[in-house]
Every structure is written in C-alpha cells, then in structure tokens.
Amino acid sequence: MKRKIVIAMSGGVDSSVVAALLARQGHEVVGVTMRLWGDDGDSASAVESARESCRLLGITHKVLDVRETFRKEVIDYFLDEYAAGLTPNPCVRCNEQIKFGILLRFMDLVHGERLATGHYARVLLDGRTGRYVLSRSADRNKDQSYFLYRLDQKRLSHSIFPLGDMTKEEVRETARRLGLPSADRADSQEVCFIPDNDCRGFVEDERPDAVKEGDFVDMKGFSLGRHRGIAFYTVGQRKGLGVSSPLGRRYVIDRDPDTNAITLGDESDLMKDGCTVGMLNWVAVERLDGPTDADVMLRYRGKPVPAVLEQEGGIVRVAFKRPDPGVSPGQSAVFYQGDVVLGGGVMMRGE
C-alpha cells in the first residue's frame, strides 16, 4: 500500500537511507529537518546535508524551526534535573516531546499517514492483545529502543522504523551504493546540544547560580572536603573528586540538593538490591497484574539486570535478582522481556 510518509531527517546516514528506501517503494515522502539548537555550525550543516539527500532522491524537503520549544522542553529540563541533583535523559525527553510530538502534529497537518525515523528499533502489532509492541533492533550494538520507551500506543501506531532489521554497516553500504552524501557522515553524539560533550561546563555556563560549593561527606555524615557543586558530579563517579582517603578509592553515592552535600563511599555502597520507578509508561501491557520477571536496563548500553517488578499504583518496585551499582535517580529504567519493551519509567531512589 502506497502511503504519504513524513520522515525525520537529521542529515545523517540513517534517516537518509530511510528516505531512500521508502521513496524506492513508491511512497510519497516528505523529509523534515528540525532546527533544534544553535544558529550555525553543526545545526546548519545537518540541514544542508538533509536538503542535498532529498534533492538527490527527488523528494520534498521541509525545515521546521523548533528551537524555542526544544529549549523549553529539553534543554531547560536537562538543566533543571542537574541542578536538582538528578541525572537526566535528554534523548528520551526529546523523542517524547519533540520528534514524536511536533513531527506527528506536522504529519497530521500535511495529511500524512506515517512518521518514519532512522531509529534502530522495531514496532509490531500484537494480534493477541491488539497493542503495538516496541522491541529491540536486529543490530544490538545500535539498538535504540531504550530511548523510545515513552512512546504511547497512539504514537507507536503512526510510527515506522525501517532500519529495525538492518545493521549499521548494511545502512552505510546502502548509502554508498545510492551515492548519498551522508554515507560516511559521522554518527551524531548522544547530547546534540553539547558539541564538546562537556555537560558540567554547559550547566555552569547556562545556570551559574546552580553551581554552589558544598561538603563531601562520608556515609556517616562527616566532612571529607569541599566540592564545586552537585551539578558537576554523578552517582558512581570516582574520578576528579579531589578527595584523598585512607580507605581507598571513593565513589559518589548520593547528591542532596537540600543540604548541597555529596555523599562518598566505597564501591560496595553503590550496590543496591532494587529501586523505585515512577513516571511510568507501559508499552506491551496496560499495567502489571502481579509480580513480573523482567530484565531492567538502568542506562543506555548498560547490562540488563534480572529483576522482579511489582506495581503499586503509579510506581513500580524493582527487586534485583543480584545487587547492582547502576541506580541513578533521574535516569530511565526500561523493562524488557526478551526483545520486547514492557514499559519503563524514571528512577526515584535505590533500595
């Protein structure tokens, strides 16, 4: 069936190959590039790369300037979370609010039927439950289902991921064969609005009032020295603390924005038996009916942690089957059964 499909085009090789594949299938394709941040540099280069790919493919290309919304929904969220002593997931936020928010509304505006992106993931309709199911991609090294867990049934029903069954190398080979200018373009980094990858420097520049010195304390609350500001440290960090201890290597265990204190401990203090997860979004199920076995991803590219999930109203209590050091409040915990995403939420605390 031929459809009118809107494609999110970043200027990279993945979205360019998606556009090529769908155009070759005879669909009416509209490529859309969003200006997310900045006035020039990488942002302008991405627009030009996407425009050139669309020209070569003979498809329509549009540019949407969403910088104001991106600033409010993604960058300000990122800064607020860091200032509050949490570890944010800006890519998860961007997918939910921007890529599958603004672009789906644009799709409706131009009477499109589907939104396609270059994400490495798969979406299928479960004939037994009638629900759309999100699952891992064929290329496990590139799988991005973790970042997409907040998509609800309406968003998933209108979304397609043509690269879900391809490897990254197959995508690049396809781009080279088709002569696409993005064939060898480097992959984008995780936090697109921080080109030098200096998150702490970005927070300091954008929110200088959030950078306040405070105390490093041990697990009993005794002072160990001074820190630069809680926004400069993450749970599990051991390098760059500037604190010496006769007990050996120290790790960040907790950050308290109320007291502006950072608790340090040894590696064993990081180990948690579980965590509490809120801000839930269920994908493969409507809710949990009882204790449920699942693998939990506590971070992108982390190792799955076997666990038992139990829902209590709007939260899930996660009991790990073995202690794990990966609990970081503010980060997303995504629940899997095999390749299928059950759902996920935001970690509130470790237990």
Alpha helices in 98-152 (DSSP H): 103-109
d(CA 148, CA 332): 11
Annotation says 94 is catalytic: yes
Annotation says 275 is catalytic: no
Q: Which one of the listed residues 91, 94, 199, 275 is annotated catalytic?
A: 94
d(CA 21, CA 164): 13
Q: Which one of the listed residues 91, 192, 199, 275 is annotated catalytic?
A: 192
The three-state DSSP-derived secondary structure of the chain is CCCEEEEECCCCHHHHHHHHHHHHCCCEEEEEEEECCCCCCHHHHHHHHHHHHHHHHCCEEEEEECHHHHHHHHHHHHHHHHHCCCCCCHHHHHHHHHHHHHHHHHHHHCCCCEEECCCCCEEEECCCCCCEEEECCCCCCCCCHHHHCCCCHHHHHCEECCCCCCCHHHHHHHHHHHCCCCCCCCCCCCCCCCCCCCHHHHHHHHCHHHCCCEEEECCCCCEEEEECCHHHCCCCCCCCCCCCCCCCCCEEEEEECCCCEEEEECHHHHCEEEEEEEEEEECCCCCCCCCEEEEEECCCCCCCEEEEEEEECCEEEEEEEEEECCCCCCCEEEEEECCEEEEEEEEEEEC
Catalytic residues: 94, 192
